[in-house]
Structure 1
Amino acid sequence: MSTLSRRERGDVAPLGRMDKLFDEWFRSLPMRRPFGMNWDWPGEDLIRVDEFRDGDTQVVKAELPGIDPEKDVEITVADGMLRIKAERRIEQDREDKGYTRHEIRYGAMTRTLPLPLNVAEGDISASYHDGILEIRVPVPSAPEAAAPVTIPVSTS
Structure 2
Amino acid sequence: MSLIRRQSALVPDFTELWNAMMSPAAPVFGTHPLRLEDSMDEKQYTVRAEIPGIDPAKDVQVSVHQGQLTIKAERTEKHEEKGRSEFSYGSFVRTVTLPAGAQEDGVQASYAKGILTVSVPLGEPQEPVRNIQVESAE
TM-score by length of 2: 0.68
Could you say which residue in structure 2 is the equivalent of 1:75? 62
- CA gap of 1:69–1:97, structure 2 versus 1, over 3 A, is same
Report the CA distance between 1:116 and its aligned residue: 1.5
Q: Which runs of 5+ in 2 are unaligned?
A: 1-13, 20-27, 129-138
Residue 54 of structure 1: CA displacement?
Answer: 3.8
Shift of 1:142: 5.2
2:82 is the alignment partner of 1:98 = yes
How many Å apart are 1:65 and its aligned residue?
0.2
Q: State the Cα distance separating 1:125 from its structure 2 match.
A: 0.4
**Distance in structure 2 (CA, Å) of the matches to 1:71 and 1:142:** 34
Query: 1:112/1:75 Cα in 2 relative to 1: closer, same or farther (>3 Å)?
Result: same
Partners of 2:82 and 2:124 lie apart in 1 by: 56
Q: Return the offset for 1:137.
A: 0.5
Q: Is the 8 A contact 2:50 2:114 kept in 1?
A: yes
| Alignment partners' CA distance in 2, 1:131 and 1:28 | 24
After TM superposition, the score normalised by the length of structure 1 is: 0.61
> Which residues of 2 match residues 30-69 of structure 1 at below 5 A?
41-69=28-56
Q: CA deviation at 1:28?
A: 5.0
Confirm or deny: 8 A CA contact 1:46 1:110 kept in the other structure: yes
Are residue 27 (structure 1) and residue 10 (structure 2) matched? no
Number of matched pairs: 106
Query: Is 2:76 aligned against 1:89?
Result: yes
1:140 maps to which of 120, 123, 129: 123
Q: Percent identity?
A: 37
Change (3 A) 1:108 1:79: same
Rg (Cα) greater in structure: 1
What is the identity, as a one-letter code, of the residue corresponding to 1:129?
Answer: A
Which aligned runs of 4 or more in structure 1 are off by greater than 6 angstroms? Answer: none
